[in-house]
Chains A and B, each alone.
Chain A
Amino acid sequence: MTFPEYLQSRRDLLLAQTLEHATIVLTSIALATVIGVLLAVATYRSPRARGIVTAIAAAILTIPSFALLGLLITPLGLGYVPAMVALTLYALLPIIRNTVVGLTEIDPALTEAARGIGMGRLRSLATVEIPLAWPVILAGIRVSTQMTMGIAAIAAYVGGPGLGNQIFSGLANLGGVNSLNQALVGTVGVVVLAVVVDLALGLLGVLTRTGRPRRSAGYVRPRPLRRASTAATVATSSPTPGGP
């Protein structure tokens, strides 16, 4: 069976698995964004606290995904839940780090102005600081999304959903008729999905960009890739977050 024939014959299954893959990744990213931004907001003013939080997130990211999944199925069992927990944990670091950077890089004059017109801490955060830091936060979200796309494939081994199931079927059939088709559609499918989602997030960045001047040129440097890092580099998936 040629590759196009395979795609044709398994269309419904493949679409379903792609959708599942996107769903579990985006759900995990949404969770990680909420948790990560909250952690960053709670700790960014204390170098010590944010150091500890970043170090823990970095350590989690250092643990091989297969090992973390293995550890999680002991308490959580097989299936959707351990996969999602693992993906959420992995996605934390880039989001926390970028939120901290985004918040600390805000011109103090702006937060002072917010205080000056009578805003409380929470209101200032919600209406001034987080919106200002958003392009950098979004850049972190994009990096996390790319990373978890690939990791989600492994989750199929512990009963997780998504395109990883195609890869493991290919592995199980090694030498069989559809082995190559399955491995190929699983691998390429994940990459294509990652590119599409990244474009969508980029578009989201453009749509959520407001007209204010940003100091992005100063703090978003070319990104040295650091999957597990304590270095203070900002993770960006493109030279400037949220579009040019």
Chain B
Amino acid sequence: MSATTAPSSTETVLAPTSRWHGLLRRHLAMPGILAAALLGTYLWVASLSLDDIERRSLNAGYLLRTINQHLMLTALTTLLVVVIAIGGGILLTRPGMRRLAPVATGLANIGQATPAIGLLVLLSIWLGIGFSTALIGLVAYSVLPVLHNTIVGINQVDRYLIEAGRGIGMSPGAVLLRIELPLAVPVILAGVRTALVLAVGVATLATFINAGGLGALIVTGIKLQRESVLVVGAVLTGALALTLDWLGGVVADLLRPRGLD
């Protein structure tokens, strides 16, 4: 927008620069803390003399492989969740389907108390262990917050805005695309961010059903009583979760429609 031509009296118009400043101010602390935690862990491990078992886990190749598995699980889960949950949320807010929305909300509440590990084990008994079972479990576990937030996000859009849109002759599709969805973006993105964090967390349990991920390090550390492996696994998992959540926060700020406070 032509913010440069805006007269000085419109001081509340967000100039692009102030937007970036705000973004930096709000999001600068976390990368610093994470970098410090990772560096500290690295220096601590480097100061230890590792035995064979530890060296089998704590080498760049193995670490990168587990991180990669973890990220794959998380990324695929998030992708599937976004498609399924946003699509479902749109459907469940259309006239006619609206009556089913409380069911989704009720499921979301129960889902919150469901132990993820229980879900993974039950799915493994049914479908066998492995990557695809883990993926299904992760999607099932993370889909509900996004679905719930999509429904809430669309339903919280002022109904007068929808009526105004219809009143000036917008088609239902145009009202959805130009009014309902843009105004629901902050709430939907909050749900996606939650799903992302849930997926990273549940992916640590994927190792229990042979689907890899950083949980393997933690399990090794506990089972074989190797503190260094345990700490590296836990720190990496935590850092990964915080990094993704941080990224989610930055994206949410960037995609936030103007005009909302």
Q: Do chains A and B touch in the complex (CB under 8 A)?
A: yes
Write the chain A residue with the least CB distance to B208.
Answer: A171
> CA separation between A184 and B74, bound complex, in Å?
26
Q: Is B145 an interface residue, CB under 8 A from the partner?
A: yes
Partner-B contacts on A (CB < 8 A): 55, 59, 62-68, 70-71, 73-74, 143, 146-147, 149-154, 157-158, 163-164, 167-168, 170-171, 174, 179-180, 183-184, 186-187, 190-191, 194-195, 221-231, 233, 237
Q: Which residues of A contact B152 (CB under 8 A)?
A: 222-224
CA distance A150 to B227 in the complex (A): 26
Task: Show 16 residue pairs from A and B whose CB-CB distance is below 8 angstroms, ordered by the A residue.
Answer: A62-B245, A63-B237, A65-B201, A67-B214, A70-B231, A71-B238, A150-B114, A154-B117, A171-B121, A187-B121, A224-B148, A224-B149, A224-B153, A225-B149, A228-B197, A233-B190
The complex places the Cα of A183 from the Cα of B126 at a distance, in Å, of 11
Tell me how many residues of B have a C-beta within 8 Å of chain A.
58
Q: Are A190 and B233 in contact (CB under 8 A)?
A: no
Query: What is the predominant secondary structure among interface residues of chain A facing chain B?
Result: helix
List, in ascending order, chain B residues with CB within 8 A of A174's CB.
Answer: 121, 124-125, 129
B199 closest partner in A (C-beta): A64
Do the beta carbons of B118 and A153 come within 8 Å of each other?
yes
Residue of B nearest to A186 (CB): B118
Contact residues in A for B129 (Cβ distance below 8 Å): 174
Once the chains bind, are B149 and A149 in contact (CB under 8 Å)? no
B156–A64 touching, CB < 8 Å: no
Closest Cβ of chain A to B181, distance in Å, is: 15
Contact A64 B204 (CB under 8 A): yes
Q: A174-B124, A174-B129, A224-B152 are in contact. Are A168 and B117 (CB under 8 A)?
A: yes
Contact B204 A146 (CB under 8 A): no
A190 to B145, CA, bound (A): 19
**Residue B222 at the chain A interface, CB threshold 8 Å:** yes
Closest to B242 in A: A62
Q: Are B117 and A164 in contact (CB under 8 A)?
A: yes
Are the C-beta atoms of B204 and A164 separated by less than 8 Å?
no
Chain B min CB distance to A169 (Å): 10
Known: A224-B152, A228-B194, A229-B194. A187 touches B114 (CB 8 A): yes
Contact of B119 among A64, A179, A187 (CB under 8 A): A187
Write out the residue numbers on chain A whose beta carbons fall within 8 Å of the beta carbon of B201: 64-66
Q: Which of B110, B202, B218, B249 sits near A230, CB closer than 8 Å?
A: B249
Which residues of B sit under 8 angstroms from A168, Cβ to Cβ?
Answer: 117
Beyond A63-B237, A190-B115, A224-B187, 18 extra complex contacts between A and B, CB < 8 Å:
A62-B197, A65-B201, A67-B233, A67-B234, A67-B238, A68-B234, A71-B235, A73-B222, A74-B231, A149-B113, A153-B118, A170-B125, A174-B125, A179-B125, A191-B110, A223-B152, A224-B190, A225-B148
Q: Which residues of B contact A179 (CB under 8 A)?
A: 125
In the complex, which of the residues B113, B114, B222 has the most CB atoms of chain A within 10 Å of its own CB atom?
B113
> Which residue of chain B is the closest to A142 with respect to CB atoms?
B109
Interface flags for B196-226 (1: CB within 8 Å of A; 0: not) read 0110111111001100001100100110000
Q: 4 smallest A-B Cβ distances: which pairs? A: A187-B118, A194-B113, A153-B115, A64-B201
- How many Å from the CB of A118 to the closest CB on chain B? 39
B67 at the interface (CB under 8 A from A): no
Complex contacts, B121 vs chain A, CB 8 Å: 167, 170-171, 174, 183, 186-187
Q: Scoring B residues 120 to 153 as 1 if CB is less than 8 Å from chain A, else 0, what string do you get? A: 0110110001000000000000001100110011
Cβ A231 vs Cβ B190 within 8 A: yes
How far apart sit A184 and B122, CA to CA, in the bound complex (Å)? 7
Smallest CB separation, B77 vs chain A (Å): 14
Asked, given contacts A146-B112, A222-B156, A228-B194, whether A59 binds B242 with beta carbons under 8 Å apart, the answer is: yes
Pair B113/A146 contact, Cβ less than 8 Å? yes
Q: How far is the CB of A88 from chain B (nearest CB, A)?
A: 17
Q: Which residues of B contact A153 (CB under 8 A)?
A: 115-118
Q: Closest approach, in angstroms, between the C-beta of B28 and any C-beta of chain A? A: 12
Assuming A62-B242, A70-B233, is B194 touching A226 (CB within 8 A)?
Answer: yes
Within 8 A of A (CB), among B65-115: 108-110, 112-115
B230 in the interface (beta carbon within 8 A): yes
Central interface residue in A74, A150, A230, by most chain B CB within 10 Å: A150
